[in-house]
Structure 1
Amino acid sequence: MRDFTDHLRPSQPDGSTTLARERAQSSVNVEELGQHLLSSDGFLERQARVLSILQREPVLSKDKQQNLSRPDRFKLALARGKLLRRLKDKHQWSPEDHKMAEYLLDDVSPYFLHTEMFVTTVREQGSEAQRAHWMPLIESWKIIGAYAQTELGHGSNVRGLELEARWDSRTKEFVLHSPTLTASKWWNGSLGRTANHAIVVAQLLLPAPGSPDKYVSHGPHPFIVQVRDMQTHQPLDGIVIGDIGPKYGYSTIDNAYMLFDNFRIPHAAFLSRYSSVDPRTGIYSKPEQPALVYGSMTYVRANIVQHARLVLARATTIAVRYTVVRRQFQDRDGDKTGPELSVLDYPTVQIRILPLLATVFALHYTGRGMQEVYQSTRQDVEQRNFQSLAHMHSMSSGLKSLCTTLAADGIETCRRALGGHGFGGGSGLIQLNNDYLSKPTVEGDNWMITQQVAAYLIKRMTAAIESPNTPSDNDTDASFKELIRAKQGKSPSHCQYDVLENDRDIVRSFQLRAATLSYEAYSQRVIQKKSWNSLLILLHKLSRAQSQSMMVSMFFEGLSSDSSISSPTKAVLWDLYRLFAMYTVQNESYEFLRCNAASQSSLDHIPDRIQELMARVRPHALALVDSWMIPDYLLDSALGRYDGRVYEDLFNRAHRLNPLNRITFNPNYWEEEIVKGIKDDGTGILAKL
């Protein structure tokens, strides 16, 4: 039968025409900016090369995946994970190529923890002998690993983990045992159905000196453990493992539970690069720096900070493109016979989307700075220099908390700004939104880990007060000492910073706010001896202020030091810097005023300044999202298509790709039949539900 809808077209001007006109009005050099953002590590070349291979594989098509049940979605993900590994071998992909393939596919792979935390932990925590044995097996995927730290009863409080690793001096083995239900490992990705090995973090219990029948805990420690039979893939005797079930997102990964019943592992399972248990005496040698045990966690947090920009870039790309194409109502003060306005021309839409667009670029420079600190610190650690470890740990904790909050909240803000179609499957935001909801809580809850930042800053403030003449080796210490001089009456007490007109003063203003909150935390904790628990809200605000200060500073330094961008494009980036900063100041205006970091007069003018900046950014919004070079294959969005064919794609997904529309149902309540032509006797369709 002829389908007359095949010949219908959207009303004019259509999306393609609208986006073409929009792109023509901007002075931003999209290709140049894209190279600036993404070409430093070969990202764009790698993306194009890998994408051309993925799009030829039918199993990697995204056309129908949203309609699959979770078991079928997991089966598909496992098939895709295996295929990507075979493609890696076939095309001799580097590890970065393989990661690019997973990024473009946008499934959280059942192998994700194997390629991230499992291999990283063995590489960083294993002795030379352990790495020589395990790394070839890991890199060849002869074994598949996961990372089992979080438990049913403890996640953020790693020291509170209940799983025991008790040393048996008679057999020279460790005995893993789950003494309670809450000692069950929980949330451990790649472990529920996929992995056969795991890094298992357990309380190290050793005999007390002089009392061999009593055991003393030496804190949590990682062990490498085989958990499934290599032939049958069944759990080994003494281990119970399974998938924890449905979640908000991550339908393609097997988050696990796992318990041990006096399960014995050899002495060699103890990862011993930084600490050891003497097999003859049972004496424990602790690491020089306890934080080294959490190296894998810091690595993941640094990557999360780097990844946040790409996630929010996807959401803002969809939001900008669609709100340019989408038209609603004529201008009340304009020509009533003219075309309806693009939704992005309404300031009430701009205030939701354009500051997020500025945030994407702030996240870019922040992620780049975080990676530089991580790499330099890891080099220091390799040389047994641990001085920068505390700074990296604090920085990664604070930025992980702030950046994932910005990205997760930003995705939802974009979805709501899309109106009704943002709720539909063609938005491209369903999986992105659901999967990213985990980030503010995994790898350290976003509120809990801010205590680590605050503790570090209180320590730095204490040092600055006790040694005021020691030269400052970073911006944080310098701002602390400037504040101390002000407290001593050696500098003006009124606000010295013009946040409206001076770009560097914006940086100084953010630093002063963070320094002031650090001083307050120091005063209440160290001087007034207030309990830690009573200060937690202040400490969270302190961490947020410090991390916002870092973001603004790295954004400013990134633009100031880069001469590779042409003047018209650079001018737009500076407006994005100002918009991000002004929007943040407005949201935190009370603190800036209270900390003397911005004057009341400046704060009064910020709303007008924000609207002025949005008006300047608006003509370039489409070019700015285009510069992230996100392929339609990754977006998987009718609303965010590069060519603007929004309504054609939405109708195609509903009318042609939706499998529900190929089933004829029986709505008559008095008949048992559910699907026309299929009799249900009580053991068919309904019995399967």
Structure 2
Amino acid sequence: MPDFTDNLRPAEPDGPTTLAKERSQSSLRVHELAEHLLGRDGFLKRQERILPVLQKEPLLDKSTQQNLSRPDRYKLGLARAKLLRRLAGKHGWDHEDYKMAEYLVDDVSPYLLHMDMFVTTVREQGSEEQKAHWLPLIESWKIIGAYAQTELGHGSNVKGLELQATWDPKTKEFILHSPTLTSSKWWNGSLGRTANHAIVVAQLLLPESNPVGGRVPAYKSYGPHPFIVQVRDIKTHQPLEGVVIGDIGPKYGYPSMDNAYMLFKDFRIPHSAMLSRYARVDPNTGEYTKPENPAVVYGSLTFVRSRIVSHARLVLARAVTVAVRYTAIRRQFRDRDGDGTGPELAVLDYPTVQIRILPLLATTFALHYSGLAMRRIYEDARNNIDRGDFSPLANMHVMSSGLKSLCTTLAADGIETCRRALGGHGFGGGSGLIQLNNDYLSKPTVEGDNWMITQQMAASLIKKLAAVVESVDAPAKDATEKSFKEFIFARNRGEQSINYGILSDDEAIVRAFERRAVSLSFEAYEERVLKKSKWNDLMIKLHQLSRAYSQYILVENFYNALRSEASLSKETMTVMWDLYRLFSLYTMNAEARELLNAGAASNEQLNALPSRIQDLMARIRPHAVNLVDAWKIPDYLLDSALGRYDGKVYEDLFNRAHRLNPLNKITFNPNYWEEEIVKGSRDNGKDILCKL
């Protein structure tokens, strides 16, 4: 029977016409901006080269994956991961090519931890002998690894991990043992069903002295250390004796990732299992050599955090792309001040929608420039460490902690804000935000809870300020010390406020954020160092301090990037400066009280911010579609009816519901007095329960 819906079309003006008009009204050069954002490291060319390969593979089609059960999503995820590895070999992809393929498929790979935390830890923490043995096996995928640090009872507090690695001087082995239920490894990705090896972080226990007369020796903990451990048989893939391991079950997101639990019972591993580039135990004497710099043990964690900071821009850009394109097409209600005969207004023309979406559009660019800065800091620090200079490591760890917390919070909250701004269709699968939202919900917690890790940045600032106070007349060693000294000198002169020209001077905006961060640092210093307040009582203020300093970093990086940019046209730069102002002033408006208390802005200036923000949104609004186009996010990755590039929103939504939804291919029996569930089948409630 013919389907009359095949000939129906949306009401005019349709999506394609609307987006074409949106793009034509802006002078912003999309390709130029795209090259500026993503062209320098080969991202765009790599995406253009790899995307067609992926789109040819039926296994990588995304049209019905949301309808699969959790076990089937893991099976699909593993099948896709294997396919990507084979495609890498077939097409000669390097590591960055492979990561691009993972990014575009957007189904978190069960192999993810193998090529991230596992290999990175071995590369950074292993001795030369260990690297020579393990890296060829890892890079050839002869073994599959994971990273097992967090436990059922401890996550952010790495020092509190309970799993024990006890040195046995008689056999020259370590004994891994889980003394409590809470010592179970937990949340460890790629380990539940996939990996056969893992980096296992455990408390190193060494005998304090040789036992006398057969007495049991006393053991001392030397803190958590990484060990490389085989946990499954290579041929059978069954857990080795003494290892209990499995998948923890359903989660908010990551349905294709096998997050694990794992416990050990008197499980013996060789002396060579302890990664010993920086710390080691002498196999003959049992003597412990500690790292020259304790901060090196956080190298892998810092690497992951720096990657998370850089990735936040791309994640938020996806949500904002969907929101901008759809709200430009979606029309609701006529202008109340019109004559009642005109067309309905585009949702994006409502200031109440703009205030939710356009600052987030500006935020994607702020995250971009700080992501680039974080990458440079990490690469420079690693180069210094390889030369034996560990001095940048602590600062990099602190910086990555503060920025990871702020950037992932902005991205996670931003995705949900975009979803809500989409109205009813934002709740449906056609939004393209279900998996994105659920998957990214892990980021404010993973690799350090966003509230807990901010203590690291706050503690560092207090320590640095205390040192400055002790030697206030000495030359400043860096920009932070210079800011602290200037603040102290100003206070000594009785200057309580500066009231920077935030409404007319772009650099003044940076200085205002700096002043607020320094002022909060001084308040924290007074409370902790001078008044001896308890750390626990200060934790909320310390979180505010880290957030303020991290916001200052975002604003400063954004400003410095634009100030030094020479490749963009005048038209594009005009829009970029407006984005900088919108991000900065919108953030400032949300933090107005702290800026006022710090003497960085006056009441009059702060009262003028809402009007200034609305003016900036009106200036940016005509360029909104072109701005999201510049992120060059392909429809294959978006997987969104609402955000598709061609604007065929309603056609795609109806197609997904009417033609692609597998539920609509089944005829059900709704009669409550009959146990049959599906017409013509033997399925009933009891059968379904058995299958579950």
The bucket for the TM-score relative to the shorter chain is over 0.9
Specify the alignment match of 2:349 in structure 1: 345
TM-score by length of 1: 0.99
The secondary structure found in structure 2 opposite 1:26 is coil
User: Which stretch of structure 1 is more off in the superposition, 201-210 or 572-581?
Assistant: 201-210
Q: Distance in 1 between matches of 2:689 and 2:282?
A: 60
What corresponds to 2:589 in structure 1? 586
Contact 1:638 1:645 (C-alpha < 8 Å) held by counterparts: yes
Helix, strand or coil: the match of 2:391? coil
Say whether 1:631 aligns with 2:634.
yes
Cα deviation for residue 210 of structure 1 reads 5.4
Q: In the alignment, is residue 605 of structure 1 matched against residue 608 of structure 2?
A: yes
Matched, 1:474 2:478: yes
Q: Is the contact between residue 497 and residue 598 of structure 2 (CA under 8 Å) also seen in structure 1?
A: no
Following TM superposition, by how much is the alpha carbon of 1:40 offset from its aligned partner in structure 2, in angstroms? 1.1
Stretch of structure 1 that moved more, 493-502 or 477-486: 493-502
- Give the match for residue 7 of structure 1: 7
CA distance in 1 between counterparts of 2:541 and 2:589 reads: 19
**AA at the equivalent of 1:602:** Q
| Paired position in structure 1 for 2:519 | 516
When structure 1 is superposed on structure 2, of 594-603 and 123-132 the one drifting more is 594-603
Distance 1:496 1:687 in 2: 69
SS at match of 2:380: helix
Q: Which of the numbers 472, 494, 501 marks the counterpart of 2:504? A: 501
Matched, 1:257 2:258: no
Aligned position for 2:18: 18
CA distance in 2 between partners of 1:609 and 1:580 (Å): 12
Give the distance between the partners of 1:484 and 1:336, measured in 2 at CA.
61
Per the alignment, residue 271 of structure 2 pairs with 267
- Alignment correspondent of 2:332: 328
**What's the C-alpha RMSD, in Å, of the aligned pairs?**
1.0
**Equivalent residues in 2 for 1:151-230, closer than 5 Å:** 151-209=151-209, 213-230=217-234
Q: Please name the residue that 2:361 is paired with.
A: 357
CA deviations over 1:640-671 (Å, ceiling 9, x no partner)? 00000000000000000000000000001111
Q: Distance in 2 between matches of 1:511 and 1:376?
A: 24
2:395 counterpart (391, 395, 398): 391
Post-superposition Cα deviations, 1:151-199, rounded to whole Å, max 9, x if no partner, equal: 0000000000000000000000000000000000000000000000000
- The residue matched to 1:410 in structure 2 has which SS? helix
| TM superposition shift of 1:475 | 2.7
Shift of 1:365: 0.3
TM-aligned CA deviation for residue 680 of structure 1: 3.5
Partner of 2:666: 663
How far residue 466 of structure 1 moved from its aligned partner, in angstroms, is: 1.4
Query: Could you say what secondary structure the match of 2:113 adopts?
Result: helix
Show CA shifts across 1:518-546 (max 9, x none). Answer: 11111111111111111101100000000
Task: Give the C-alpha shift of residue 336 in structure 1.
Answer: 1.6
2:556 aligned residue (547, 553, 556): 553
1:441 has 2:445 as partner: yes
Name the amino acid aligned to 1:586.
N
Give the 5 Å matches for 1:519-538: 519-538=522-541
Post-superposition offset of 1:679: 2.0
Q: CA deviation at 1:390?
A: 1.6
Question: Is 1:484 the counterpart of 2:497 in the alignment?
Answer: no
Cα deviation for residue 295 of structure 1 reads 0.7
- Structure 2 SS opposite 1:656: helix
Deviations 1:400-455 (A, max 9, x none): 00000000000000000000000000000000000000000000000000000011
Q: Using the alignment, how far apart are the partners of 2:685 and 2:393 within structure 1?
A: 63
> Structure 1 residue aligned with 2:625, among 601, 607, 622?
622
2:454 to 436, 450, 454: 450
Residues of 2 paired with 1:44 and 1:632: CA distance? 15
The number of residues matched between the two structures is: 688
- Following TM superposition, by how much is the alpha carbon of 1:685 offset from its aligned partner in structure 2, in angstroms? 3.1
Query: What is the alpha-carbon distance in structure 2 between the residues aligned to residue 644 and residue 542 of structure 1?
Result: 43
The one-letter code sitting in structure 1 at the alignment partner of 2:668 is: F
Q: Distance in 1 between matches of 2:604 and 2:475?
A: 35
Aligned partner (choices 645, 648, 653) of residue 650 of structure 1: 653
Q: CA deviation at 1:43?
A: 0.2
Instruction: Give the letter aligned to residue 101 of structure 1.
Output: A
Tell me, in whole angstroms, the C-alpha distance in 2 between the residues paired with 1:150 and 1:221. 13
Rounded to whole Å, the distance in 2 between the matches of 1:146 and 1:226 is 10
8 A contact 1:113–1:147 mirrored in 2: yes
Aligned 8 A contact 1:322 1:639 in 2: yes
Do the aligned residues in 1 keep the contact of 2:323 with 2:419 (CA within 8 Å)?
Answer: yes
Query: 1:111-126 to 2 correspondence within 5 Å?
Result: 111-126=111-126
* Paired residue secondary structure (1:112): coil
Secondary structure of 1:628's match?
Answer: coil
Is residue 2:271 matched to residue 1:302? Answer: no
- Specify every segment of 5 or more residues in structure 2 that has no aligned partner in the other structure, as ranges: none
Measured in 2, the distance between the counterparts of 1:541 and 1:686 equals: 49
Match for residue 31 of structure 1? 31
Alignment check: 8 A CA contact 1:390 1:456 kept: no
Partner of 2:67: 67
Is 1:317 the counterpart of 2:300? The answer is no
Q: Measure, in 2, the Cα distance between the counterparts of 1:65 and 1:335.
A: 47
Aligned-pair CA distance for 1:209: 3.4
**8 Å contact 2:677–2:685 — kept in the other structure?**
no
Distance in 2 separating the partners of 1:651 and 1:592: 49
| Stretches of structure 1 lacking an aligned partner (at least 5 in a row) | none
Paired letter, 1:61: D
Q: Is the 8 A contact 1:146 1:191 kept in 2?
A: yes
- Paired AA for residue 142 in structure 1: K
> Are the equivalent residues in 2 in contact too, given 1:196–1:230 (CA < 8 A)?
yes
**Corresponding residue of 1:289:** 293
| Kept after mapping to 1: 8 A contact 2:123/2:135 | yes
Deviations 1:294-337 (A, max 9, x none): 11100000000000000000000000000000000111112421
Of 50-59 and 481-490, the range deviating more from structure 2: 481-490
CA deviations on 1:339-367 (whole Å, 9 max, x unpaired) are 11000000000000000000000000010
Amino acid across the alignment from 1:626: D
Q: Using the TM superposition, give the Cα deviation of residue 688 of structure 1 relative to its aligned residue in structure 2, in angstroms.
A: 1.4
Secondary structure of 2:529's counterpart equals: helix
Q: Read off the aligned partner of 1:567 and give its amino acid letter.
A: K
In structure 1, distance between residues paired with 2:575 and 2:112: 37
Deviations 1:112-169 (A, max 9, x none): 0001000000000000000000000000100000000000000000000000000000
Distance in 2 separating the partners of 1:683 and 1:335? 61
Q: 1:686, CA displacement in angstroms?
A: 4.0
Retained in 1: the 8 A contact 2:334–2:343? yes
Match for 1:229: what amino acid? D
- Selected match of 2:572 from 560, 564, 569: 569
Distance in structure 2 (CA, Å) of the matches to 1:455 and 1:427: 42
CA contact (8 A) 1:476 1:511 kept: no
Counterpart for residue 373 of structure 1: 377
- CA separation in 2, counterparts of 1:151 and 1:494? 48
Paired letter, 1:116: D
Partner of 1:194, secondary structure, is coil
**Over residues 253-297 of structure 1, what are the superposed CA-to-partner deviations in whole Å (9 max), with x where a residue is unaligned?**
000000000000000000000011000010100001111111110
